[in-house]
Amino acid sequence: MDQSAGSPVVRDAEPADASGIAAIGREALPRTFGGMVDPAVLHSIVDQSYSVEALEACIARCRSTPDAHFLVAELDRRVVGFLHYDCAGEGPELHRIYIDSSLLRRGIGSALLAELHARLAHGTSYILMVIAANVPAVNFYRRHGFVVDAHVDGPTYMSEHMGVTYPQGTQPAPALVMRFTKPSGSEATGVPNLATTRRLS
């Protein structure tokens, strides 16, 4: 598909993509969660998870693990979104998906999800955590077939599942654990294929 038409190319992330991913993450988290999550929590997540070094290490782990996927979306050869999924914890989980703020509602998040779901075996079920007050994100996931699985505290969940540490006394933030299950057999996933896909070995 021609990128000039505005369709993203989705591919496996490479360590060289880390700086572009870091820039998106460092802008997206404060913009998305300001007023929803304790600023100390956001500061800790950005510092611990969005340094170039941390992202290079995460991408390298995903590239060497068959059931892990760190994907990026490109427009005009520029990274404009990313997704990180793995099975390193108690089960399969989508840890993060963020898009360049200047390109929201362009189908980039849907394209990243479509590529992830295309790679998963039929019947695969995985979870993600979303802050309950982030209504646009909750609605996005519902449109793509996710259902609420549990109610949790967001900062506690991120500490337990992603190893992020916070200062004492940080405030709680209600969150939802949502689950997606890829239908068995030849049933459609309900996620439109909006991207050209390029896999790198």
Residue 141 has pLDDT above 60, yes or no: yes
Kindly indicate the confidence band of residue 193, based on its pLDDT and cuts at 50, 70 and 90: very low
pLDDT tens digits for range 142-176: 999 999 999 999 999 988 888 889 888 889 999 99
Kindly indicate the confidence band of residue 186, based on its pLDDT and cuts at 50, 70 and 90: low
pLDDT tens digits for range 39-57: 999 999 999 999 999 999 9
Angle (nearest 5°) at CA 15 between 11 and 17: 60
Average pLDDT for 63-79: 95
CB count within 10 Å of CB 193 equals 16
Taken in order of first residue, the domains within the chain and their CATH numbers are 3-188 (3.40.630.30)
Average pLDDT for 130-142: 96
User: Helices in the chain by DSSP H: which ranges?
Assistant: 18-33, 39-49, 52-63, 108-119, 135-143, 154-162
